[in-house]
Amino acid sequence: MENILKIAVDAMGGEGSPKKAIEGIIHHNKKNKNIFYNIFGDQEIINKYIFKKLSTDSYKIINTKEIVKDADTPLAAAKRGKNTSMWMAIESVKNNKSDVVLSAGNTGALFVIAKLNLKMIENIDKPALSGLWPSKKGMSVVLDLGANIECNDKNLIDFAIMGSSLLKSLFPSEKPKVALLNIGSEELKGNEIIKQTYQKLNQIVNEDFEFKGFIEGNHLMDGDVNVIVADGFTGNIALKTAEGTANFITGELKRAMKNSLLGKLGSLISINNLKKFKKKLDPRLYNGAILLGLDSPVVKSHGSTDYIGFANSLNVCEKIIRGNLIQKIKQNIS
């Protein structure tokens, strides 16, 4: 029997919370056992959504009416103090009362409060925000998605090692294949930092991952590599571009299917293929970005996702703990 895994949930962060967070917990709990939820937020409101829908021995509500607001700057969020639901959830991990923390709240605030409470893993200088992307051959890990605008070659090498550890935690049977996101695949392309990183990664003999060189943005979904490394500026733009393109395609497809009789007939004929296509591009199924580099795992749910997306973030929390993510990073980085 698996050990009980404890997830600290900031129930007050993001759009539609705490309703979304609690419905996500209920949905997750139906399919996942041996999980205990430490839920931080306004007990009176949370009880309305949780009433008789969860076994009382599977959760505990830690009451606070203080919250980090979406409009807060990271500094303002930190100044709100130790009684906010976000701070208390992170502190629960710091004090070993929870194994992992999940929040859909203010991203900048989550980074700052996490860094104030949790130590960095030895030999890692900067944390990186990592997410999952679909590809033709499965799933890829992409980092950094915005935690660091500027990075040096050591940071990018650390990201490669951390991203490979994450992939192995989530998908134990996969062999990490690392590539650097660049403006071209040739060795001479790119700025000095990325060229230096290329040279150093080429010289590393590492059984934990295989370095595959550079990758261009139009090949991110090919699946030939499964760990894609970039600085936070480049990675965030790539992420937002991919999300916008996916939303555009699905939106236009819906419009085309509804606008004419021929479109409606076509959609009825190919309904199963359309469902598969829509599911492949559904961002809720890849929800749950992981802040790597800290000595305890911190997971960020998209603020605008629904309860399905939040439940998928809870799945990510479970996988990285069961897959010993932190231990893998410590072992590989040394």
- Whether residue 275 is found in the same domain as residue 130: yes
- Whether residue 209 is found in the same domain as residue 305: no
Q: What is the pLDDT of residue 111?
A: 93
Q: What is the model's pTM?
A: 0.88
| Average of per-residue pLDDT values in the chain | 89
Tokens of 204: 């590393």
Q: What is the CATH number of the domain that holds 214?
A: 3.40.718.10
**Domains contained in the chain, number:** 2
Mode of pairing for the β-strands spanning 289-292 and 298-300: antiparallel
Q: What is the pLDDT of residue 128?
A: 95
pLDDT grade, residue 263 (50/70/90)?
low
- Whether residue 182 is found in the same domain as residue 148: yes
Average confidence (pLDDT) over 183-194: 86
The least confident of 111-115, 173-177, 196-200, 266-270 is: 266-270
Q: Is the Cβ–Cβ distance between 197 and 161 less than 8 Å?
A: no
- Whether residue 82 is found in the same domain as residue 163: no
Domain-located, residue 334 = no
Domain-located, residue 249 = yes
Tokens of 163: 């991203």
Distances 142 to 39, 182, 221 between C-alpha atoms, Å: 29, 13, 11
Tokens of 325: 């993510």
Q: What is the pLDDT of residue 127?
A: 94
pLDDT grade, residue 188 (50/70/90)?
confident
Residue 254 has pLDDT above 80, yes or no: no
Residue with tokens 């996101």: 181
Domain-located, residue 289 = no
Residue 108 has pLDDT above 60, yes or no: yes
Residue 277 has pLDDT above 60, yes or no: no
At 196-245, the pLDDT tens digits run 999 999 888 777 889 999 999 889 889 999 999 999 999 888 888 887 87
Q: Is the Cβ–Cβ distance between 298 and 113 less than 8 Å?
A: no
- Whether residue 49 is found in the same domain as residue 160: no
At 216-225, the pLDDT tens digits run 988 988 999 9
Q: In terms of residue numbers, what domain contains 165?
A: 125-284
Mode of pairing for the β-strands spanning 289-292 and 177-181: unpaired
